Structure 1
């Protein structure tokens, strides 16, 4: 076996990696979605977003792998971060670098590997989006292009983390990130969309949950709430956590009926997830529709209009819990 070696700029690379503060963090839907799509387009049973630390490769998100990390020396991703181009090994048993690698000869029995490196600056490669199979195989050019695009999305998400615009608890934009994204959009000279809706969500009784059940319970409520927002609204707008218990969503090109249907979907999805722990839980929604964007429309004016038109959404008693 040829062990993975340090890169030529190893110290700078590790500084960039550790400065992100992402190692050993929890599940985040923004990365899990990338892994799911990569598995779909590649038709590979194993996919991971792998970050290469001093002595290990750690998986920020994974599919089909039983472990959260392996040693760096035997990691194939440790070889992939030595080059900007993807590392594609069609049959590891025929490659002298990996033929007797314990990850090839033993679990998870890697026979095919394709790693698409990512970085923050095109120089310090932090890890790879990798797809793995138990059998030798090829990837079509179209599939490789799609995986390259997904690796670029990983880079974008890491840049968002680096710039401190992602809420570390929920994985959606924090106040700074949400304001920055929306302000940039609203001041763009080429905004042509004619329908915009600002939704303001207020999670009620969170302080009581923290006092009675502990902060973990309150955090769990917020995590589940943000996950449902992402499931329903991520494809049609921006999502942000403005304060401890306040979230906002700006929707693009959604008419009144579509927004009402999405709010109902969100409510039902939230109720389904509130099943095991019986926390008292209520939220409210304020909304404002805009058909024209001009210099008088800012995120502040949108929020002001939304918070003046609020409706409560009491969770049915049989669903009061978070699961």
Structure 2
């Protein structure tokens, strides 16, 4: 836990909600699994400030979600009752000494019922682009006045949280395309498969490989090859829904998890991607075109990420064998193949 950021040196905070939400989405952290750096921070906060409740809170569209927390029995609450929704609207620490005497919160269900909030201190988590994505907060179940020393301590811990978020972004993001790295994609998809198994949700894995990519690099150079990869990433991001998961596995290979949708939707998404990639134009490079072959594997009970990737890879190989620029479905799902 050695990432330290000075919030005072960052850009001026902006409360532009669409931009703030995009900044949070870029972190790709909401609904992620527990990570030791954030767990250690909340442990230290709880001990240092003798706080019965503390949390690293990220404020999403309609909820606050806790990346790490102690003293709570839920990992999220609706945004419209969140104290943290007030805290993200200003750069200064947000302090409530007695919620029962504060007109904004006296009738709040989090005050009237569990966890019976009385005192709250939240430090905004301001990222280097100026957007505040959440808070580091402590909660007490008795009224409390916060000293300057306590506020300063929590501010220092908030600096650490911001630093860890930045480090996480670097480690979990492919530098060229800004998509998830291979490891980050696998981690997210493992969680999604587990969730699908518990709630019997459907889903599918798409494995996408750009056709004849080596010849693009050989003919036009690696800078142009990088441009093709970035354009492909832009198309994938534009086609997918917010909760779908996309990563660059390496080279010219991309992977997508189409979550909570039947295999027919995954297949349709793959075809849409194929068509739009084939339509890419490069005015500065006459004669350059590209296409993609895509294999699709449907979620099955007990399936692992490795098993689904293997099935999608076999379907991808079949698409290439049949002439490339095609989508093929893994054998387990009875769907027709779409070709040009």
TM-score by length of 1: 0.49
